[in-house]
A and B are shown apart, each in its own frame.
Chain A
């Protein structure tokens, strides 16, 4: 048996020729996006929002995976924790990526404005939906929510990584405790900010619409794509060396199981959002879906049902597939495509009411943001150890049995006093 998920003998791949890809993406995508902004500002704004929401998913997914690791005192995710921390640290970068959207809300006019309700507010045309969503749906409300979101994400990702890096150095119990404290408070703040972010930036494109499941819907899709991405990253890093000892066959099995779980969870949330609205049959809610049946949007929704759910669901049913590297990597690429389609399905019907149309600016904006984020990710990854060096469960994660008294001896040798009631 030497599948890439359990073999330590496969030689590292030569990835040197990919090294310039992030820079190229950033430069070419940036140039094209900048050109697009002057060429067709309206299309550019929506394309940018699409790319923004797409990549925001990865940061948020990374953050919640770190939080969950600490909350559940998990052993299986030790190997992937640093990867997720680095993904979460992309969130502050996303604050900069928010600038074009902020500028649009502040300065754009009429047709160029992304959010129709902003124009309505300016014109003083308060409709019923807008009136009942005061004071949230005001320019001030929009920016207060946005700033709170980014501050919370910055603090959480930054603190969780600070203590994690400190744990690498000292290995003290205090680090574990601090990370758990941030995780315990953070999980609530995360749920609130993600929900508000999804509502303000994506759902408010059609401010008349309401769906109580929208936050969790974005959450499900976000964690879904993140966990697929984490599998691929872990696999590459195992093959290249950094995670060779710590990412075991079991690690991949567990990540694969979580991929399966979130495939089902996403389908569950998506279906019930539709089902509840379909069943109630109230025009204030159904219009959102009717819009998404116009033209070829109908087929896009079928692509989401079969491509976002059925294909990965049926593929991941079998245990052994979770170790078949090529299937899993192919699924990871497919997941990126599907999340992109899913985000387009949420955002683009506002702009392209007659049917789906892939604009070159969609790709340019995604290339630019993706390129910048890849560079930041790689820089952060290279700056620190590839996995938490002194996680209390590192031995367990590596499948090594360390008798308790050896722990005590090692701690005493380091001059640490093992306290009673330690980290676990």
Chain B
């Protein structure tokens, strides 16, 4: 007999977004931490039903933006007023007004980088494979089914209890997902 494969988590299938949303509320209230909901499209109110806090990605873009702005100002000041001053039309060697447009662009650039890379970092992306992708029915998450997945690494996870919970919230089809 082959060794039993590791179990990644438990997958519960729902047929309507409302069912998935109510189930998510129950799972949230039970106190699970490592779990997620998969839907074919964004479902309004799901964040709240899952108890998700505001994303931290904003901080990455904020810090990126501030870095872009200050580094732009410092760079232009250093180049034009310190390292290689060129007098033009009697204007000051450095003025925050003249330097503003490139700094503004740098703010946006690094802010966007912050958002993109912050998002990848928070999502632990890129990764080459995910156990769920191997699961046959999970492909329906891009079609017409709604899934809740609770990972085995969650401290509250127990195969029987969690299965009962997901049954009680109305899932007709509950399966284990192999690692």
List the interface of chain A (C-beta within 8 A of B): 271, 274-275, 278-279, 281, 317-320
Tell me, yes or no, whether B54 is within 8 Å of chain A by CB: yes
List the interface of chain B (C-beta within 8 A of A): 54, 58, 62, 89, 91, 97-98, 100-101
B54 touches A281 (CB 8 A): no
B62 touches A275 (CB 8 A): no
A279 touches B98 (CB 8 A): yes
A317 touches B98 (CB 8 A): no
Chain A residues, CB < 8 A from B91: 281
Q: Using A279-B97, A319-B54, A320-B54 as known contacts, list a sample of 15 further A-B pairs with CB atoms less than 8 Å apart, ordered by residue number in A.
A: A271-B100, A274-B97, A275-B97, A275-B100, A275-B101, A278-B97, A278-B98, A279-B98, A281-B89, A281-B91, A317-B58, A317-B62, A318-B54, A318-B58, A319-B58
Chain A residues, CB < 8 A from B58: 317-319
Give B101's nearest chain A residue, CB to CB.
Answer: A275
Chain A residues, CB < 8 A from B62: 317
18 examples of A-B residue contacts, CB within 8 angstroms: A271-B100, A274-B97, A275-B97, A275-B100, A275-B101, A278-B97, A278-B98, A279-B97, A279-B98, A281-B89, A281-B91, A317-B58, A317-B62, A318-B54, A318-B58, A319-B54, A319-B58, A320-B54
- Bound Cα distance from A319 to B89, whole angstroms: 45
- Bound Cα distance from A274 to B91, whole angstroms: 16
Minimum C-beta distance from B48 to chain A (A): 9
Chain A residues, CB < 8 A from B101: 275
Chain A residues, CB < 8 A from B100: 271, 275
Chain A residues, CB < 8 A from B98: 278-279
- Bound Cα distance from A281 to B98, whole angstroms: 12
Minimum C-beta distance from A249 to chain B (A): 10
Give B89's nearest chain A residue, CB to CB.
Answer: A281
Chain B residues, CB < 8 A from A318: 54, 58
- Bound Cα distance from A319 to B62, whole angstroms: 13
- Bound Cα distance from A418 to B157, whole angstroms: 54
Chain A residues, CB < 8 A from B89: 281
Minimum C-beta distance from B40 to chain A (A): 19
Chain B residues, CB < 8 A from A278: 97-98
- Bound Cα distance from A275 to B97, whole angstroms: 6
Minimum C-beta distance from A298 to chain B (A): 15
- Bound Cα distance from A22 to B159, whole angstroms: 68
Minimum C-beta distance from B109 to chain A (A): 17
Give A278's nearest chain B residue, CB to CB.
Answer: B97
Minimum C-beta distance from A307 to chain B (A): 18
- Bound Cα distance from A320 to B101, whole angstroms: 30
Minimum C-beta distance from A315 to chain B (A): 14
Minimum C-beta distance from B56 to chain A (A): 12
- Bound Cα distance from A318 to B100, whole angstroms: 24
- Bound Cα distance from A191 to B98, whole angstroms: 30
